[in-house]
Chains A and B, each alone.
Chain A
Amino acid sequence: MTSLLRPALAMILGLTLLTGLAMPLAMTGIARLAFPWQAGGSLVERNGRIIGSTLIGQDFTSPRHFHGRPSATTEADPAAPGGTRPAPYNAAAGAASQLGPTSEALREAIRQRIAAATATAPGPVPADAVTASGSGLDPDISLENARRQAPGIAAARGLPVARVLALIEHEASPRALGLLGEARVNVLRLNLALDAEP
């Protein structure tokens, strides 16, 4: 038994020191030197204040801003101990709806979102505009979704629609390496660009 105990304990402790402390700390140091912005969470500042991370979506409700995808994140409900209440884009606890394909709650939610979307703009509704993202923090929307929102935002800001559409094209991210993933536009960056308009 002792012939097993010593190697077992020594190995787990030795490997913990190496792979659990020395290496993560060394990697943290190297990352800070080589990629300080990314290692720190890709944070964006405006007027010296942190206003978010380009990778993390934010809750936009103003008609003057582009809106991100529906988010199923929640937060603790102070009125009901142990319960939760909706809190879109709560980055402290990313979450999805976890509703299955035959869920009536999901179908009803999508039906209401489609009704709201078609009330302000006609035409088919892109799926990303009315389905909750998996992380609850999706920073992007599809270009179709953004273009669909453009006339409403142009009206709310008194900007020409063409200008808003041009901003979308300017901020759009193509597929990575021209091949991987989806073309999309980052909502926080797009709204920052909008706010910078005269």
Chain B
Amino acid sequence: MTLLGWAQIALVLAAVLAGAVPLGRHIARVAEGRRTILHPLLGPIERGLYAMAGIDPGKGQGWQAYTLAMLGFNAAGFALLYALLRLQGVLPLNPQGVPGMAPALAFNTAISFVTNTNWQAYSGEVAASHLSQMAGLTVQNFVSAATGMALALALTRAFATGRATQLGNFWADLVRMTLYVLLPLSVVLGLAFVALGMPQTLAGAVTAETLEGGRQSIPLGPVAFQIAIKHLGTNGGGFFGVNALHPFEGPDAIATALQIWAQTVIPFALCLSFGALVGNRRQGRVLLAVMLGFVLLATGAIYAAETAGNPLHLALGLDPAQGNMEGKDLRFGQALVALFTATTTGVSCGAVNAMFDSLTPLGGLVPLFLIQLGEVLPGGVGSGLYGMLVFVLLAVFVAGLMVGRTPEFLGKKVQAREVKLAMLAALVLPATILGFTALSMVLPAALASLANQGPHGLTEMLYAYTSATGNNGSAFGGLTADTPWLDVTLGLAMLLGRFAYAVPVMAMAGALAAKPKLPEGAGTLPTHTPLFAGLLAGVILILGGLQFLPSLALGPIAEHVVLLAGKTY
């Protein structure tokens, strides 16, 4: 670790916070249906979409109607994307002549993008046509992110007013978040990415005659715009198989810094939007502070582990100055790799600018544990905020038990029904992750997918189901993921992680919305204080730790001990 490295980390995070403040205000404004500077340009498109769909954006929906609309829209998105991937071989904009995807892979990929996971069992430059990348994957990058934001807004409204029966209108939230937040940022960022070296062309591949007389086929495509929304929407699905490591997808350190900025700015901004919408800005800042604290700790841990290097390799006479460089490209540097890795797993992005499979055991433990903590640090676009609010309710409940008072949050009493629903959502993660991993570790067909042996093999499998259920999408990439077993079970894990989590959360939102908003009394536990921030962090750590430490002990922690003992597999 160097001071220069920490200066890079500080600069990027400062830029994130500087962006989150105005963006948080803007999102709150858009969520309330108020006019912004973008309305003269995009207003007609917004109204056109409502007219086409036959929607009255002012008509509020209760939690069931809101949730049904969300599920219906996502089902339609899945069907369209699945059809597109299966049929891409006979559709236009396919200069490389990519064939249609096989059913299991198309199922896995369509679910993956609809659930904002972007797990990639395929390699983009080989298996996806330009049309699939643009009209399929890029579209889901926008709308799966907007879906997450819509759900977060619905839950936010449940706290904003007393005795409400309506949580907003899903269609209006979806369209507004897409048009007034995601689209303009993607255009600006996409152009910056082109300037930095990302291709944006409809051409397929060019063949170069290399300096030493070889031939090199260089795939091109409409990369930059897709990569912009890939990060802004915390999607993470790369245009290329090696994701942000590909020089066309991560051309230099400025591009990687901008990607870190893009994947964290909306999740942080949404905390501030939450504060503004519920009329308690300090509450939003407390949520943000907890998230930021975890990001800093995680970044430091990865940075330390990776710069320390691999003792087995150092013993061979390697210069220790660069740290562990296997699976990393040179241009980003260890500091930005650490920050990228911590944020891509802290938010549910899943893009990578280093290969996780080749990280040191402790460097690889951190991203795994960050996902297992529930994708709330700061979590995906929207999903991070509603996930964090689940933990907030659990934290006030725990505090209420300790002091013997009815817990409340922002004037809403937290009672048995809400806590049960919050726990139901929170249990989806361990049940899905540990259940599928345990099953796969005894199935020969699943074990054949492992690339590494020993404790590292367990980590590969555990990471896959963790990433899928957490809707993250990053991978210990050695795992051969395109097998019928993994395609289907990882697809199910993604579905459960997204919708089996979101539906209880929405039911909770409905229950909370209906409650009266009580004035703060002498017995109210203030939830906008450093004390509460500590309690919240503790609840997140204890819950995640209790659920997952045994599996981590068998995977990365065991591997670390084995590494120190000098054993290889």
Residues of chain A with a CB closer than 8 A to B142's CB: 15, 19
A16 adjacent to chain B (CB < 8 Å):
yes
Instruction: Tell whether, in the assembled complex, residue B212 and residue A65 are in contact, meaning their CB atoms are under 8 Å apart.
Output: yes
Instruction: Tell whether, in the assembled complex, residue A89 and residue B216 are in contact, meaning their CB atoms are under 8 Å apart.
Output: yes
Instruction: Tell whether, in the assembled complex, residue A40 and residue B241 are in contact, meaning their CB atoms are under 8 Å apart.
Output: no
Within A162-198, the residues touching B (CB, 8 Å) are 175-177, 179-182, 184, 188, 191-192, 195
Residues of chain A with a CB closer than 8 A to B191's CB: 27, 30-31, 34-35
The residue in A16, A99, A135 that gathers the most chain B C-beta atoms within 10 A of its C-beta is: A135
Instruction: Tell whether, in the assembled complex, residue B313 and residue A20 are in contact, meaning their CB atoms are under 8 Å apart.
Output: no
The residue from A19, A93, A132 contacting B139, defined by CB atoms under 8 A apart:
A19
Instruction: Tell whether, in the assembled complex, residue B54 and residue A32 are in contact, meaning their CB atoms are under 8 Å apart.
Output: no
Within A64-119, the residues touching B (CB, 8 Å) are 65, 69, 89-104, 106-107, 110-111, 114, 118
Instruction: Tell whether, in the assembled complex, residue B211 and residue A188 are in contact, meaning their CB atoms are under 8 Å apart.
Output: yes
B138 adjacent to chain A (CB < 8 Å):
yes
Contact A103 B452, CB 8 Å, known A93-B241, A125-B319, A135-B242: yes
Contact A41 B206, CB 8 Å, known A126-B319, A138-B330: yes
From B219-227, B403-411, B541-549, the one touching the partner chain is B219-227
A43 to B45, CA, bound (A): 38
The residue from B53, B201, B330, B454 contacting A6, defined by CB atoms under 8 A apart:
B53
B567 adjacent to chain A (CB < 8 Å):
yes
A94 to B353, CA, bound (A): 13
B416 adjacent to chain A (CB < 8 Å):
no
Instruction: Tell whether, in the assembled complex, residue B210 and residue A52 are in contact, meaning their CB atoms are under 8 Å apart.
Output: yes
From B75-83, B428-436, B498-506, the one touching the partner chain is B75-83
Residues of chain A with a CB closer than 8 A to B247's CB: 53, 55-57, 135, 137-139
Residues of chain A with a CB closer than 8 A to B310's CB: 101
Residues of chain A with a CB closer than 8 A to B4's CB: 179
Within B195-233, the residues touching A (CB, 8 Å) are 195-203, 205-212, 214, 216-220, 222, 224-226, 229
A191 to B217, CA, bound (A): 20
Instruction: Tell whether, in the assembled complex, residue A102 and residue B568 are in contact, meaning their CB atoms are under 8 Å apart.
Output: yes
A191 to chain B, nearest CB (A): 6
A83 to B138, CA, bound (A): 32
A147 to B237, CA, bound (A): 37
Contact A41 B216, CB 8 Å, known A4-B68, A34-B194, A181-B331: no
Instruction: Tell whether, in the assembled complex, residue A99 and residue B206 are in contact, meaning their CB atoms are under 8 Å apart.
Output: no
Instruction: Tell whether, in the assembled complex, residue A58 and residue B210 are in contact, meaning their CB atoms are under 8 Å apart.
Output: yes
Q: How many residue-residue contacts, CB under 8 A, span A and B?
A: 379
The residue from B134, B207, B212, B460 contacting A20, defined by CB atoms under 8 A apart:
B134
The residue from B171, B220, B352, B459 contacting A7, defined by CB atoms under 8 A apart:
B171
Instruction: Tell whether, in the assembled complex, residue A127 and residue B245 are in contact, meaning their CB atoms are under 8 Å apart.
Output: no
Contact A140 B330, CB 8 Å, known A12-B73, A127-B323: yes
From B157-165, B356-364, B524-532, the one touching the partner chain is B356-364
A103 to B326, CA, bound (A): 12
- Mark interface residues in A5-34 (1 if CB within 8 Å of B CB, else 0): 111111111111011110110011011101
Contact A61 B212, CB 8 Å, known A102-B562, A135-B242: yes
Instruction: Tell whether, in the assembled complex, residue B330 and residue A192 are in contact, meaning their CB atoms are under 8 Å apart.
Output: no
Instruction: Tell whether, in the assembled complex, residue B360 and residue A136 are in contact, meaning their CB atoms are under 8 Å apart.
Output: no
A115 to chain B, nearest CB (A): 9
Instruction: Tell whether, in the assembled complex, residue B199 and residue A39 are in contact, meaning their CB atoms are under 8 Å apart.
Output: yes
A69 to chain B, nearest CB (A): 7
Contact A98 B327, CB 8 Å, known A12-B73, A19-B178, A180-B8: yes
Residues of chain B with a CB closer than 8 A to A132's CB: 326-327
From B20-28, B251-259, B343-351, the one touching the partner chain is B251-259
The residue from A38, A39, A99, A124 contacting B357, defined by CB atoms under 8 A apart:
A99
- Using CB atoms, name the residue of chain A closest to B7: A179
Instruction: Tell whether, in the assembled complex, residue A98 and residue B331 are in contact, meaning their CB atoms are under 8 Å apart.
Output: no
B312 adjacent to chain A (CB < 8 Å):
yes
The residue from A10, A27, A142 contacting B200, defined by CB atoms under 8 A apart:
A27
- Using CB atoms, name the residue of chain B closest to A29: B200
A24 to B93, CA, bound (A): 12
A137 to B245, CA, bound (A): 9
Contact A11 B174, CB 8 Å, known A101-B456, A110-B318, A126-B319: yes
Contact A7 B563, CB 8 Å, known A41-B201, A181-B331: no
B181 adjacent to chain A (CB < 8 Å):
no
A156 adjacent to chain B (CB < 8 Å):
no
B292 adjacent to chain A (CB < 8 Å):
no
B303 to chain A, nearest CB (A): 14
Residues of chain A with a CB closer than 8 A to B240's CB: 94
- Using CB atoms, name the residue of chain B closest to A148: B319
Residues of chain A with a CB closer than 8 A to B358's CB: 96-101, 106, 134
Instruction: Tell whether, in the assembled complex, residue A96 and residue B330 are in contact, meaning their CB atoms are under 8 Å apart.
Output: no
Contact A24 B563, CB 8 Å, known A56-B247, A96-B358, A101-B361: no
A136 to B191, CA, bound (A): 26
Instruction: Tell whether, in the assembled complex, residue B55 and residue A31 are in contact, meaning their CB atoms are under 8 Å apart.
Output: no
The residue from A16, A59, A128, A130 contacting B80, defined by CB atoms under 8 A apart:
A16
A93 to B219, CA, bound (A): 9
Instruction: Tell whether, in the assembled complex, residue A134 and residue B329 are in contact, meaning their CB atoms are under 8 Å apart.
Output: yes
Instruction: Tell whether, in the assembled complex, residue B326 and residue A42 are in contact, meaning their CB atoms are under 8 Å apart.
Output: no
A42 to B198, CA, bound (A): 9
A31 to B77, CA, bound (A): 29
Instruction: Tell whether, in the assembled complex, residue B241 and residue A58 are in contact, meaning their CB atoms are under 8 Å apart.
Output: no
A85 to B322, CA, bound (A): 29
Instruction: Tell whether, in the assembled complex, residue B326 and residue A144 are in contact, meaning their CB atoms are under 8 Å apart.
Output: no
Closest 4 CB pairs of A and B: A181-B253, A98-B478, A20-B135, A10-B53
Taking A27-B222, A101-B559, A131-B313 as given, write out 4 further A-B residue pairs in contact, using a Cβ cutoff of 8 Å, ordered by the A residue number: A15-B49, A35-B195, A131-B326, A181-B253
A sample of 24 inter-chain contacts (CB < 8 A) reads A4-B69, A15-B175, A19-B183, A23-B183, A24-B134, A27-B222, A31-B224, A38-B197, A58-B211, A65-B211, A92-B219, A98-B476, A99-B358, A102-B563, A102-B568, A102-B569, A107-B316, A125-B318, A132-B327, A133-B327, A138-B331, A140-B329, A142-B322, A181-B336
A residues contacting B by CB (< 8 A) are 4-16, 18-21, 23-24, 27-28, 30-32, 34-35, 38-43, 49-53, 55-62, 65, 69, 89-104, 106-107, 110-111, 114, 118, 124-128, 130-142, 144, 175-177, 179-182, 184, 188, 191-192, 195
